[in-house]
Homo-oligomer: A and B are copies of this chain.
């Protein structure tokens, strides 16, 4: 089961790909960010988000997509742009017929650190330990995307098994 995690943003989307199965070691497959040109208007930045994510999907062929859930109460200056980017991220996954799950930041923190209130440094440190990395991926959005993908793999349980069965039935896994 290969999960592509996306930490959405209009300026920068973190992207992390992990592979694993229940009871197996989780493995890092790819990590990075999709950046957009700050000189462009919102619509063209969303087109850059789409094009950038499409390359990740093309290269890594995930079985499932996990996107960070955006809340209306988050930073009022950026929440609309973040929600727009999250919509484009979900769209790219759905258009490919992939299951798209949303997880809240506290679900992600709880899954990887055991506490829903862990800070960024704790999440980064746990991502390093879980994936046996030499150091935390930079920028933080990239580490967050990996944490999101790990969270999906671990929380998935029956829904992961269902997605895996669907993938097998389609002859793609």
Contact = CB atoms under 8 A, between A and B. Distances in A.
Interface stretch (A27-35, A86-94, A134-142): A86-94
Contacts of A162: none
A91 B43 CA distance: 5
A126 interface: no
A46 B76 contact: no
Contacts of A84: 83-84, 86-87, 90
Interface in A107-144: none
A169 B119 CA distance: 53
Number of copies: 2
Contact of A87 (B41, B46, B93, B94): B46
Interface residues of A, number: 28
B79 A46 contact: no
Question: Among the interface residues A83, A88, A102, which one has the most CB atoms of the partner chain B within 10 A?
Answer: A83
Interface string A12-46: 00000000000000000000000000000111101
A165 interface: no
Contact of A72 (B72, B91, B95): B72
17 contacts: A41-B100, A43-B90, A44-B94, A46-B90, A46-B91, A50-B95, A72-B72, A72-B79, A72-B80, A73-B76, A80-B83, A83-B83, A83-B84, A84-B86, A86-B87, A87-B88, A91-B91
